Chain A
């Protein structure tokens, strides 16, 4: 089994309202140089077929109209 980590974020062209709010909070804490805060979701899964991850993203895990995704496969796998 391989462990697959999928990160889904809104496409860069779209306003990320949560990211904007967090960025404002960081600024008010004094981290005034922070920019481009984006919030996404992380989906972890275990599968014997990590090559299917792209299809899973296209079909279900991300909405390609508004979201980008990034797939990481843990080469060490997970203990069965």
Chain B
């Protein structure tokens, strides 16, 4: 089997784990393994995906409980060593709670759970996750969240801008009141950790309403392939 192995973390309440695994396989990136949150073995995967859902029923705050799952220590070590970590929706919330990404996700400004396609602007292609996308391109990607308002301190925001670490912004309507329209950010020692509220794994085929998310998986595949040679 050629390609690379994605490890998708499964928490109680994750509901996009299979979507993420399916996108990885369907786009020809390789195999996908579902990794139970109680495990402490990442099974030598090439990339960790922290998927969307409602881990622990969003008790206390979205992601607040999941970040203490045994496997998260391994994810932190993997990220510190430069391993690719992708957090989608609840995964983004978990990575922020874990301190692997800056900022936090607050309740949507409009107080409603918002479930629709939104336009994202690719703000940087200097990342393992967007290297095959076009800078300033608009991607149609679905969102489905109630706590997606990105917030961070003014100092952290200035740092994100200076270091070109804002990965995506909402291009037209800001659906949740996110600071500076931020939809996704980069972190990690080598820009190897990312989080975003929209769901690229749900936009990998025209039949799903959009195939615009595919360029992210193609970027990751290209990054991993390049690292191999």
Q: Mark A50-72, 1 if CB is under 8 A from B, else 0.
A: 00000000001101011000000
Query: In the complex, how many angstroms separate the beta carbon of A14 from the nearest chain B beta carbon?
Result: 6
Q: Which of B4-12, B106-114, B188-196 binds A? A: B106-114
Instruction: Contact check, A60 vs B64: say whether CB atoms are below 8 A apart.
Output: yes
Chain A, residue nearest B176 (CB): A17
Instruction: Contact check, A63 vs B107: say whether CB atoms are below 8 A apart.
Output: no
CA distance A60 to B65 in the complex (A): 8
| Neighbour of B109 across the interface among A17, A65, A66, CB < 8 A | A17
CA distance A10 to B107 in the complex (A): 10
CA distance A63 to B96 in the complex (A): 10
CB contacts (< 8 Å) of A10 on chain B: these are 106
Query: In the complex, how many angstroms separate the beta carbon of B217 from the nearest chain A beta carbon?
Result: 30
Instruction: Contact check, A63 vs B104: say whether CB atoms are below 8 A apart.
Output: yes
Instruction: Contact check, A14 vs B60: say whether CB atoms are below 8 A apart.
Output: no
B152 at the interface (CB under 8 A from A): yes
Query: In the complex, how many angstroms separate the beta carbon of A23 from the nearest chain B beta carbon?
Result: 13
Instruction: Contact check, A65 vs B151: say whether CB atoms are below 8 A apart.
Output: yes
| Neighbour of B151 across the interface among A60, A61, A66, CB < 8 A | A66
| Neighbour of B111 across the interface among A14, A17, A61, A66, CB < 8 A | A17
A65-B103 contact given A60-B60, A60-B64, CB 8 Å threshold: yes
Size of the A side of the interface (Cβ < 8 Å), in residues, is 11
CB contacts (< 8 Å) of B153 on chain A: these are 65
* Beta-carbon contacts under 8 Å, B121-171 to A: 151-153
Mostly helix, strand, loop or mixed at chain A's interface?
A: mixed
A21 at the interface (CB under 8 A from B): yes
Instruction: Contact check, B151 vs A18: say whether CB atoms are below 8 A apart.
Output: no
B97 at the interface (CB under 8 A from A): yes
CB contacts (< 8 Å) of A21 on chain B: these are 111
* Beta-carbon contacts under 8 Å, B11-57 to A: none
Query: In the complex, how many angstroms separate the beta carbon of A43 from the nearest chain B beta carbon?
Result: 8
Query: In the complex, how many angstroms separate the beta carbon of B70 from the nearest chain A beta carbon?
Result: 16
A65-B177 contact given A14-B106, A17-B110, A17-B111, CB 8 Å threshold: no
CA distance A66 to B177 in the complex (A): 14
Interface residues of B (CB under 8 A from A): 60-61, 64, 68, 96-97, 102-104, 106-111, 151-153, 177
A selection of 12 A-B contacts at a CB cut-off of 8 Å is A14-B106, A15-B109, A17-B108, A17-B110, A18-B107, A21-B111, A60-B64, A61-B60, A63-B61, A63-B97, A65-B151, A66-B151
Q: A60-B60, A61-B60, A65-B102 are in contact. List 19 more A-B contacts (CB 8 A).
A: A15-B109, A15-B177, A17-B107, A17-B108, A17-B109, A17-B110, A17-B177, A18-B111, A21-B111, A63-B61, A63-B97, A63-B104, A65-B103, A65-B104, A65-B151, A65-B153, A66-B104, A66-B106, A66-B151
